[in-house]
Amino acid sequence: MDTSIITYTIYLGISLALTMWVARTLHKNGRIFLVDAMQGNEELADSVNHLLVVGFYLVNIGFVTLWLREYGAAPADARAVFEILSGKLGTVLLTLGGMHFFNMYVLARVRRRAELRTAPPPVHPSGLLQPPASPYHVAGAMRS
């Protein structure tokens, strides 16, 4: 059997298994974070969680299939197969990690904005302050 076919088969198998494992893990463990970020709205959090998983699958499987293309010579031996696989799988894993950290950044910002909307003022107001006198006003008339 051709070493390229073996390399492709191993690459696809490992990449798709990793994609499914990471998606399930993020879906299961991300729900609590999303419920908190969505101010306790579980229905909205579940919906966003599902949409994130669908987007994750689309982007990642699309990337994996695009990265399937062979660059350079076909692997001649087992060593070359492992070298190609390590390069391709390493790129897939770095992409997965980058996508994860980007999603966490965006969701953290959503959560922070939601918390700021419902946060009390930083100090309790004790009264109104008079605005300072403007250097442009003299006895009710403006300087030119």
pTM here is 0.66
R_g (Cα) of the chain, nearest Å: 27
- Map out the domains of the chain as residue ranges: 3-114
117 CB-near residues (< 8 Å, 6+ apart): none
Over residues 9-58, the pLDDT tens digits come to: 888 899 899 889 988 998 898 888 888 888 888 999 899 999 989 988 99
pLDDT at 105 over 80: yes
Nearest to 83 by CA among 23, 11, 2: 11
Structure tokens at 76: 């001649």
Q: Is 18 helix (H, G, I), strand (E, B) or coil?
A: helix
**Reduced to 3 DSSP states, what percent helix, strand and coil does the chain have, rounded to the nearest 5?**
70, 5, 25
